[in-house]
Structure 1
Amino acid sequence: MRIKSILAGLLFMAFLLPAFAQTRTQYKIVTASKSGTYIQIGRDLAKWIADPAGIDLEVLDSKGSAENVQRMRFEPGVKLALVQSDVFQAFLDEAKAGNSEAGNIIRPLRLIMPLYDEEIYFVARADSPLEFIHEIKGKKLGVGPIGSGTALTSRTLYQLMFGEPIPAANAQFLSNEDALVALTVDKTIDIAIIVAGQPAKLFTDMQPEARNYIKILKLDEKAPETTRGKKTYFPATIRASSYSSWLTADIPTWTVKAYLVTYDYGLQSTVGNLTQFAESLCANFDKLQANGHPKWKQVRLELPPLGQGWRYYPPMEKRLRACIAGKTAAVSAASSAPPQPRNRPCTEQEVVLALCKR
């Protein structure tokens, strides 16, 4: 009888232990549209960072940054979000101006780290007489869906350049795909404004014939509108190599910074899980750059000083700073190590380049 009890107990544990072993943390990250860059960045984080940290990170599409701020604040399970810098700043500005709802939303949010610059595309029809971004004043614009970062970027940049808001009759709140249809098929808008880090799937999927239907307007550094826009945005270049199937030359444009954002969590289990995420981010950062979206190559593992109202999440900041310091020390030690003795004579070229002494 005792043997049967022991066997029954062992059988029970055989079924029970795998269930415990397979228990993993379930978190979510909000990104942007399914054809954008944010969702690919989210998938990279889920595969190369969250998974090694024992976190099953569900990657959710969204309308964009403005919606992400709301969902990061209120949606259960959402622990991470990708947010544009101008959207984050807009919420801070609204809070400072006395908007209590904006303050309630943005004040508990914390930054993990800056990521990369997202290019802003001003897409016109190929036969449009427009050539430059500062020529869009008074035109009918596709500005991104309501609640998207693109919609806020369109509004903010237009206001900066021209000193007035986009006329309500000239703004259509469309997804990227719908905006291109409205531009090229329905011809109900003159410009589609799209924010996406290059190479963006929306444009990489296009055929060579795309150049017969669309073009991207250029930034004119000499235009006074450009000078005014630089208060918040920065010049960038859309590279022809990013869309080699149809783009034939580099195009100067505007850019906006993307950030990885979380909440000021205090629950010990959440703090521990996010600290593990930070540890994995540092340990596997090279894998992100080697295997993830090309935009990862532009990301630096660093935590630069922040503007007023912007704050890092302390538990993750502490872990990342310690890791960054460790990597810096390792690089410094390697660079100061005595050179290894040569086992061959110097070549003439090495002597000329001062790489070797005879």
Structure 2
Amino acid sequence: MLRKLLAALPLLLMLASPAASADIEKNIMTGGPTGTYIKIGRDIADLGKACGQTLNVVESAGSLENFSGVRNRRNTQFGIVQNDVLEYLKTFEANDAEIQQAVRGVRIMFPLYNEEVHVLAKTDIKSMADLAGRKVAVGVKDSGTFLTSSLILDILQVKGVQKVEVNPDKALPQLQAGDIDAFFYVAGAPAALFQGDAIDGTKFHLVPITDSVLRSTYIASTIDAGTYAFQKEPVDTVAVKAVLMTFDYDKKRNAYHRDSCKAVADFSSYIIGNLDKLQASGHPKWKTVDLMAVPPGWKVGVCVKEGLAANYKPTCAAPVATPAADAQSDENDDYLKLLKERLKKQ
């Protein structure tokens, strides 16, 4: 499934062109206009703005498009991706040449926060099993919501679901109009789409996801009572981790790679140097960011590590960062060592 989706995404041959300017265009691919990704992207862009750098925050369908964009889209140095997308790719990479090509050169920049799986449904749908035979919006094909919803329904073997491929922004009014029975939305709580008083809690609710078979793939999580006005009780669910991705630029290759690597190093420095500011005034999910939680099997980009070095001089000096938790040893020990040393010396 994912292999076909990746193959269908356009290849803009970002890597093929050597042309570049000193003031290189910089983009971060995020998600829909009401999602958490776009808020996180704007927070990161604000760090660059304070240093005189413009980072364009690009709306997208979500994780799959973002992953492909980092690999193939010119002037797209950053993208936010769900870790179940990464796990799927890593699982099938060894025996699939198409996936090997799709992941070549894509690297971790920073692990971010957990994203909760929201299933908003009519109140007569009490469990995931009750979705059988119902009309359910599962996201659009280039999105992480689409992949996650498809995997969860497959793992739980929920039969007869009539899948509607629309994004959550369009799914909500369809649910309210009675055209569908439920919809999936993978987003860090609180998700802006569910805030306010537009959702009637007597007609709709968040479906608990407590099936033990999912716990080997997903993170157990709870959406606290009152997170949304219509939701009076805590809701147990599962979550995925959002990860900031980049490309492994080679500074010796051409001017474009050199300038893009500089952009990645600078923004790595900005984020680590301003983590306290992000946690204090950015999206609430910054408070839960664990920069040490690198997904297994994936490498951190060389340009990221350059920006974490204690003697690195970004285009704009960064404020003091807050200390991070101790890390466990893994295959990215050099990244973790640089991260801890950088935080100690600021």
Residue 327 (str. 1) matches residue 327 (str. 2): no
Q: Quick one: distance in 2 between partners of 1:261 and 1:81?
A: 5
Report how far residue 325 of structure 1 moved: 2.1
Residue 146 (str. 1) matches residue 141 (str. 2): yes
Q: Quick one: distance in 2 between partners of 1:194 and 1:74?
A: 26
Q: Quick one: distance in 2 between partners of 1:257 and 1:227?
A: 19
Report how far residue 83 of structure 1 moved: 0.2
Aligned to 1:341: none
Calculate percent identity across the aligned residue pairs. Answer: 29
Q: Quick one: distance in 2 between partners of 1:56 and 1:104?
A: 30
Contact (CA 8 Å) 2:24, 2:260: kept in 1 or not? no
Q: What is the DSSP-based 3-state SS (H/G/I as helix, E as strand, rest coil) of the residue aligned with 1:59? A: strand
Q: Quick one: distance in 1 between partners of 2:51 and 2:105?
A: 24
Change (3 A) 1:122 1:304: closer
Contact (CA 8 Å) 2:121, 2:182: kept in 1 or not? yes
Aligned to 1:20: none
Q: How does 1:80-95 map to 2 (within 5 A)?
A: 80-95=78-93
Identify, as 1 or 2, the structure richer in helix: 1
Aligned to 1:289: 279
Q: Could you tell me which amino acid in structure 1 is paired with residue 30 of structure 2? A: T
Residue 195 (str. 1) matches residue 179 (str. 2): no
Q: Quick one: distance in 2 between partners of 1:175 and 1:276?
A: 33
Number of aligned residue pairs: give it.
Answer: 291
Q: Quick one: distance in 2 between partners of 1:88 and 1:53?
A: 32
Aligned to 1:259: 243
Report how far residue 200 of structure 1 moved: 0.8
Of 192, 196, 200, the match for 1:205:
196
Aligned to 1:33: 32
Aligned to 1:348: none
Q: What is the DSSP-based 3-state SS (H/G/I as helix, E as strand, rest coil) of the residue aligned with 1:296? A: helix
Q: Quick one: distance in 2 between partners of 1:147 and 1:154?
A: 13
Report how far residue 318 of structure 1 moved: 5.0
Report how far residue 305 of structure 1 moved: 5.1
Change (3 A) 1:307 1:204: same
Aligned to 1:229: 214
Q: How does 1:60-139 map to 2 (within 5 A)?
A: 60-98=58-96, 100-126=97-123, 128=124, 130-139=125-134
User: Gaps spanning 5+ residues in structure 2: where?
Assistant: 1-21, 251-256, 309-336
How big is each residue's C-alpha offset from its partner over 1:160-218, in whole Å with a ceiling of 9 and x where there is no partner? Answer: 222x7x65x71110111221222221x333221111111111011334x6213311111
Q: Could you tell me which amino acid in structure 1 is paired with residue 34 of structure 2? A: S
Residue 179 (str. 1) matches residue 171 (str. 2): yes
- The structure that has the greater radius of gyration is 1
Change (3 A) 1:265 1:133: same
Change (3 A) 1:120 1:110: same
User: Gaps spanning 5+ residues in structure 1: where?
Assistant: 1-22, 221-225, 331-358
Q: Quick one: distance in 1 between partners of 2:212 and 2:58?
A: 37
Q: What is the DSSP-based 3-state SS (H/G/I as helix, E as strand, rest coil) of the residue aligned with 2:200? A: helix
Aligned to 2:301: 313
Contact (CA 8 Å) 1:26, 1:55: kept in 2 or not? no
